[in-house]
Amino acid sequence: MTLGPTEWGESLHGVGPWRDEYGTEPPTDPRYDPVLLAEGDRRNVVDAYRYLTRDAIVADIDTRRHPFHVAIENFAHDANIGTVVRTANAFAAEAVHIVGRRRWNRRGAMVTDRYQHLEHHPDVASLLDYARERSLAIVAVDNTPGAVPLETAELPRECILLFGQEGPGVSDAARDVAVTTVSIAQFGSTRSINAGVAAGIAMHAWIRQHADLASAW
């Protein structure tokens, strides 16, 4: 697959039919979606994934995924869940785990939930069982006394970054089994950062420490 730039410089409406774009017959590779080839592709995907079927895109991302997971514990706002899912997709996280209620409004994910592995756990105990079975270290992200600054922390390569909802934060049960709790440095008047934003900051901290930047789009 030929890699291309991200969507930043392309038309807001994506690309048109293959024949219009390239002046050639559409490819017959089964990874390509015949409807998209004929009608154009206006999805929010990078250029390298244009015209590909959803399954083909997921399969390719699976070869590029990073060994960190993200867990969302009892988020009260669907928009924050969508933000976390969209950011996890951008950083090719292995999976996003939603602890608590199963149903949420996926609009904030901007359709990225179609390409991101999602897991549901009814409670923290279920998430902990999942982590133990896969030898994943749990890293709680919460601004609590004694937390290690994220800016200086060494994050485990294979881990679950765990976030609580705004206000209560990470539950005591989850914090008790975490290998460490990290906090994000703040300098203004607010007591906390939006949970979706905090998740993005923590994920990027993992990327800076462990990702091969040469493989980024």
217 assigned to some structural domain: no
User: For the domain that residue 111 is a member of, what is the CATH number?
Assistant: 3.40.1280.10
Residues 142 and 158 in one domain: yes
Same domain, 197 and 106: yes
Residues 6+ apart with CB under 8 A from 71: 96, 97, 98, 99, 121, 127, 138, 160, 161, 162, 163
96 with 44, same domain? no
**What is residue 3's predicted lDDT score, i.e. its pLDDT?**
38
pLDDT grade, residue 167 (50/70/90)?
low
pLDDT digits (tens, 9 = 90+) for 67-93: 999 999 876 666 788 999 999 999 999
The candidate with the shortest Cα–Cα distance to 72, out of 160, 192, 156, is: 160
Final residue of a domain: which of 43, 61, 79? 61
- Domain shared by 28 and 118, yes or no: no
Last residue of a domain, one of 40, 61, 82: 61
Higher pLDDT, residue 64 or 194: 64
pTM value is: 0.89
pLDDT, tens digit, 9 for 90 and up, residues 170-180: 888 888 889 99
Domain tally, the chain: 2
Name beta bridge partners: 140.
Answer: 162, 181
Q: What is the pLDDT of residues 25-74, one digit of tens each?
A: 999 999 999 999 999 999 989 999 999 999 999 999 999 999 999 999 87
Residue 164 lies in a domain: yes
Question: What is the domain extent for residue 52?
Answer: 8-61
Say if residue 121 is in the same domain as residue 15: no
pLDDT per residue as tens digits for the range 7-16: 334 446 699 9
Sign of CA pseudo-dihedral 35, 41, 44, 47:
positive
The Cα 100–Cα 30 span in angstroms is: 38
Residues 49 and 154 in one domain: no
Q: Which of 61, 83, 99 is the last residue of a domain?
A: 61
In this structure, the answer to whether residues 44 and 133 fall within a common structural domain is no
Assign 120 to helix, strand or coil: strand
| One domain for residues 42 and 100 | no
CB 15 within 8 A of CB 41: yes
Radius of gyration over alpha carbons of the chain, in Å?
19
